[in-house]
Structure 1
Amino acid sequence: MQRRHDLDALRVLAFALLILYHLAMAYVDDWGFHLKSVHTAEWLQWPMLFLNKWRMSLLFLISGIAIALMRPEALLLRFAALRTWRLLLPLVFAMFVVVPIQPYCEGVTNGYVTPGFGHFLLRYWQVRPWPEGSFAGAPYGITWNHLWYLAYIWVYTLILTLLMPLLARPGLRRAVAGFSARPWLLLGMPTLLLLVWICWLDPRFPSTNTLVGDWYQHAKYGTVFVLGYLLGRDTHFWQQVLALRRMTLYWALGAIGWYMTLRILGRVLPPDAYLRTLPEGFWDFQSRLSQSLYLWAALLTLLGWAQVALNRPFRWLPYCTEAVYPWYILHQSLLIALLFWLKPLQLGPWVEPALVLLGTVAGCLVIHELLIRRVRWLRPLFGLRMRRP
């Protein structure tokens, strides 16, 4: 297939943003995370709300588009086997080798784990339940923490593989072309579908990242994943995304502006101050509608502007494209370990996060460059081909 530099670059930038987001999770006030600094700030919630409505959906959308551009329909069994190898092998390896430092630091901080990583590791590898509250995933005996994306995308890929013969029918492809050629459908229908999920499933099934029973996230991420596959090869879609990039940007900014306004009003006004003359649930519906519109408009905006700004063979792109997978696996374990060791030093609200960020980036760079990409048998364990391209 022809290489899409814009999608590669957008994926690299999305994972780079993920590192900053997870760093901020340790410092944002009133949001749960595996390990929190004593230097938390409430103002961090606002830029993080701006990002977290679309950041993971973007990765699922790009994954669906990438599969469409691979055109794997002629070799479905081989495709499913290769994707299983590339997704599940790194996931299982990381759960036993890379991730354990995270529940160890969390468990020691929560008072349920005795200091001593070697002793903890021997107990952790037995995959027996831990006391409730020890760490995220303690009842299961093991955790994948930030690597939940790999499990979800593997399941979605296998389901999509089974559906590919149906999705490849000429009638459906013509319907997709007609859908993507009409701007009001392209913007409106996915927004409406996402609105149904957030109104119907979100109140009943809060996000858990545990795969089983996580129905709202499955509906949301599965929708954008399948949309990516259906639209990824359609020329009308890419033409529309490019042509509408300014309009979708305005829609996205308007939607997130209204959502933020509703949150501010909910904080500064008395509980029923602006509800007395309106039906019950009106403002909650407004909030959910603005989130759905913002999510889809932001995704279209990012794809449109990426075609303009990122669709070129940057010198850094091949290296970074290969580095994304190992850095994704490594970054949160390094981040939490560094915060765990630096936290008792009381370095202050600026020095501590700066050192955690620099240490995380440096650790990912050194481990990837000097170890992972140079040791042949390690490469598949971090999602890379056995031989360097």
Structure 2
Amino acid sequence: MKIESLETFRQRVGDRPRVLVKITTDSGVSGWSEVYNHGPDLAYLPLLDHLFDQIKGMDPLRPTAVNQFLHQSARFPQGALGTAAIAAIDHALWDIAGKALGVPVYQLLGGAVRDRVRVYAGLYNAPDVAELRDRTADLHERFGFTAFKLSPYRRNLHNTRYGLVVRELGDYFGDVRQHHPEEWEFAFDAHACLWEPHQAVELGAALAPNQPLFLEEPIRPEYIPAWGRIRSDLRVPLATGESLYTTQEFLALLTAGGADIVQPDICVVGGMTQMVKIAAIAEAHYVPVSPHNPMGPLATAANVHFAAATTNFGILEYGTGYQVDDISWCPDPYLPVDGHLELRPDRPGWGIEIDEDALVADDWVSWNRRVPVRPDGATAWM
């Protein structure tokens, strides 16, 4: 069996653009993946064509060898776009391997260590508690969610006194706890909007009395020693990793004692092949892996198989936008039942189907990151 062709499809998931990838072998077996939405998404099409030219004719049942080759094919580190493109190829090949051998991908990773995968709902904002209660109640009733992730910011972070941001967060989280079942869990994603480590510590202090599931990515990822300092001063679990994309970066973070939970994105770090390595590094540091996953059904499928076979898996992020949107090209996504995603042992590969007829139409949507502006005209992180 040989890799014969690579096709890309311009689609969307909710309000975000998404490039889908299909790799087909000379025996007619196809594998699917989606590419991470970094922002300059149209750059992926020529990049994927370039990478495919290097691997055409290779054995698709050797995804680890292909992954290693693609990393070695560049003189310098591939960067975020490069590893995301490699991840898309990697995932399509794992899907092919599972289908060709007639088994789910998690069987190729050593078999399942759990029967189902717990998920939390990413809500991505901090609505008033009454509105939040309606949303969480609906998600609990429909899908069984008992864990949720919110923004810690109740006002514009960049044009107000920071002490007010912190005080309002403490009051807000206390109100959230008061109006929800006490066994439900809430995490907070600071979205790397902060730049000063002490501000991260203050956020954690505001959350600590009500025991959050974790505080996610309060500062920029680049300066690893700052993460060790923050974690030593925090009294809540510190989670990060979505902005890191190599095994070496995760090793540096964990060596510095910079995280209680790591959150690599399987579509960013180079795919399943690299994700397994990151999980092993984290396990050696007694750190669970709770993958970043605001993506669509193909990314979620890859994460399900990773989580099924990973002993130090914690909980999986599950974006709540696309299961209510009409994604016609994936008629059977993994949907939560009782707050978990069930494994599909009778389905090979990722265990989901792609309707190619629905991909005939280009369903692309333009998206650009909005950079905040401070009152003095300087730009800020978002």
TM-score over 0.5 (shorter chain): no
Structure with bigger helix share is 1
Structure with bigger strand share is 2
TM-score (norm 2): 0.30
Answer with 1 or 2: which has the greater Rg: 1
